[in-house]
């Protein structure tokens, strides 16, 4: 990163190029990021923050101004937390709140899971405020063993309102002895004042599984959870005795309003996204449930999931409708364009409520493979395939679907809704018990939703995108010879281009996908671009303003 410090004192102008649908500006070059987490955040004052989190240096902040020049650099050191303890640290979200960059950072401090809120100066990157805002139960001896045998890891969840700077925090205390102590919700204003706080009533269920949450400005917080017993608990009939619990916490209240919903499926292993649709005045809950554990830890075995889209009345809290997420039109597109008749295992990755109140759901083929020898895990990897876009109307009816095909393989396990988490700035050095590989940061895809179009971006080999009508593609396992491709999606097909223009054969230009940030208000996409010429590589930040 020494090149970044040099750039503070030089007057290099940014390079500008034009493409079919956007203009590009570049920063001065800097050293290739080769470890940890790298994330960009575009601020309303025109500055861009580049946050780099590594085990060696902790958190470094680089600030770029409107002219795309580096103007400040800070190394963040914690007084309440240890910036070098990356193994026990996770980032639960990065947001701009009232013009201030805010990092929600969780760390295990003296065996106590603790959530900190870091507010940074938008011009210098220095810490304006460092505050502990939540803690969970202290880890006791044997906690690690319990998590290895299925007890969920204690965790924090942070969600910001879609149209304001209000936010909420969930303290998910899985080791709490009493069920009613397992989930606590804190609702904050845009000035970080506590609006309400309440513990979750388990309604007699031994276990609670958090599914999703949405924040309706400063008015209320909605939470979906799953209450159940197990056979070992000696209560009910195991997984059959279970209910979905929909709840609402209103501003100023210390108690939730609840609705207990009968549901036939076993939702114990479920993840979800909940959002409010102002057009239909409905909460939308997208859930993904693991349903088949047979052969889960054998190499090459595919897991099975069920995805559901539910609409919930925010007043009565009744589930108005629940439909399986079939993505039939996207699958038909794959069959029609690529002449491919085999099943495509699509998993939802994100749900976006559009300005016209329609809903876009992004899905991706994801096959997780865990190889074992004599019962011990020897390797884990994820294969990422087709990416699809499906449009739904306000009633949840499928309208359009389209897909692009890719083939990527990378070490480690990608979580469900990885794309949605990445957009919020969630990250952990250790995920699913596995150290994250830097290569994962270049994999998967990016989705950009602008007023003038929808785009899918990912890194691909030139031989693949030059023969895009073929189902079989060379699988990407090495990233350094790829280029970033950009598909402008049209439901009759799509326009494809290389994101950074024409690239000579002995060069490549590819994106650090995980670093990206899209500013909807300025229509600007920012990402770290790697430029390779033969064996030499350098990095730049690229800003693309879509026309």
More confident residue, 378 or 391: 391
CA atoms within 13 A on the CB side of 162: 16
More confident residue, 4 or 202: 202
Tokens of 94: 């990065």
Give CA separation, 444 vs 47, 384, 480, 510, in Å.
Answer: 27, 7, 15, 13
Q: What is the pLDDT of residue 16?
A: 35
Question: Which residues are CB-contacts of 27 (< 8 A; sequence separation ≥ 6)?
Answer: 7, 14, 64, 68, 69, 70, 540, 541, 542
pLDDT bucket at 494, cuts 50 / 70 / 90: confident
C-alpha–C-alpha distance, residues 532 and 539, integer Å: 9
C-alpha–C-alpha distance, residues 226 and 261, integer Å: 10
Q: What is the pLDDT of residue 12?
A: 33
- Of 316, 315, 251, 325, the residue nearest 285 (C-alpha): 325
Tokens of 432: 């699913």
C-alpha–C-alpha distance, residues 454 and 447, integer Å: 7
pLDDT bucket at 378, cuts 50 / 70 / 90: confident
Q: Is 327 left (phi over 0), alpha (psi -120 to 50) or beta?
A: left
* pLDDT tens digit sequence for 164-174: 999 999 999 98
* pLDDT tens digit sequence for 6-26: 333 333 333 333 345 578 999
In this predicted structure, the answer to whether residue 382 has a pLDDT above a threshold of 90 is no
* pLDDT tens digit sequence for 261-319: 876 567 777 889 999 999 999 999 999 887 764 444 334 445 678 899 999 999 999 99
- DSSP track, 359-380: EEEEEEEEEEEEEEETTEEEEE
In this predicted structure, the answer to whether residue 508 has a pLDDT above a threshold of 90 is yes
More confident residue, 289 or 98: 98
* pLDDT tens digit sequence for 346-371: 899 999 999 899 999 999 998 878 77
Question: Are the beta carbons of 474 and 481 closer than 8 angstroms?
Answer: no
More confident residue, 215 or 15: 215
* Mean pLDDT of all residues in 404-424: 88
């Amino acid at each position: 990163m020494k090149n970044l410090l040099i750039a503070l004192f030089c007057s290099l102008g940014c390079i500008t190029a034009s493409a079919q649908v956007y203009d590009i500006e570049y920063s001065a070059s800097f050293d290739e990021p080769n470890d940890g987490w790298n994330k960009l955040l575009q601020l309303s004052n025109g500055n861009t923050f580049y946050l780099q989190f590594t085990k060696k240096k902790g958190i470094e902040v680089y600030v770029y101004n409107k002219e795309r020049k580096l103007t400040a650099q800070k190394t963040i050191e914690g007084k309440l937390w240890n910036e070098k303890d990356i193994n026990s640290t996770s980032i639960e979200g990065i947001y701009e709140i009232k013009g201030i960059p805010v990092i929600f950072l969780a760390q295990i401090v003296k065996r106590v899971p603790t959530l900190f809120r870091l507010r940074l100066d938008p011009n210098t990157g220095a810490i304006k405020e460092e505050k502990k805002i939540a803690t969970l139960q202290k880890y006791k001896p044997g906690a690690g063993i319990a998590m290895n045998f299925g007890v969920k890891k204690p965790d924090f969840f942070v969600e910001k309102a879609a149209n304001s700077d209000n936010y909420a925090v969930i303290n998910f205390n899985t080791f709490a002895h009493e069920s009613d102590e397992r989930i606590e919700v804190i609702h904050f204003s845009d000035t970080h004042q506590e609006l309400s706080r309440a513990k979750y009533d388990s309604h007699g269920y031994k276990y609670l599984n958090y599914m999703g949450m949405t924040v309706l400005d400063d008015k209320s917080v909605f939470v979906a959870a799953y209450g159940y017993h197990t056979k070992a608990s000696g209560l009910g009939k195991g997984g059959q005795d279970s209910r979905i619990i929909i709840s609402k916490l209103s501003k100023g209240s210390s108690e939730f309003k609840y609705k207990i919903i009968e549901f036939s499926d076993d939702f114990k292993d479920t993840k979800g996204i909940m959002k409010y649709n102002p057009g239909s005045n409905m909460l939308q809950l997208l859930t993904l449930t693991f349903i088949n554990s047979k052969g889960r830890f054998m190499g090459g075995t595919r897991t099975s999931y069920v995805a559901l889209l539910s609409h919930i009345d925010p007043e009565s809290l009744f589930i108005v409708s629940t439909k399986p997420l079939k993505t039939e039109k996207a699958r038909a597109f794959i069959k029609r364009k690529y002449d491919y008749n085999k099943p495509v295992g699509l998993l939802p990755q994100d749900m976006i409520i559009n300005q016209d109140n329609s809903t876009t759901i992004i899905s991706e083929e994801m096959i997780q493979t865990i190889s074992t020898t004599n019962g011990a895990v020897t390797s884990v990897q994820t294969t990422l395939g087709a990416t699809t876009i499906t449009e739904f109307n306000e009633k949840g009816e499928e309208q359009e679907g389209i897909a692009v095909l890719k083939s990527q393989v990378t070490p480690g396990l990608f979580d469900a809704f990885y794309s949605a988490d990445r957009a919020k700035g969630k990250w952990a050095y250790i995920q699913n018990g596995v150290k994250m590989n830097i290569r994962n940061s270049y994999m998967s895809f990016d989705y950009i939703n602008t007023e003038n179009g929808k785009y899918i971006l990912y890194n691909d080999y030139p031989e693949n995108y030059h023969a895009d009508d073929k189902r079989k593609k060379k699988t990407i396992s090495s990233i350094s010879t790829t280029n970033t491709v950009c598909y402008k999606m049209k439901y009759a097909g799509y326009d494809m281009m290389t994101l950074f223009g024409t690239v000579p054969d002995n060069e490549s230009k590819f994106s650090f996908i995980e670093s990206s940030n899209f500013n909807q208000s300025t229509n600007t996409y920012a990402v770290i671009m790697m430029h390779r010429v033969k064996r030499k590589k350098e990095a730049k930040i690229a800003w693309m303003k879509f026309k």
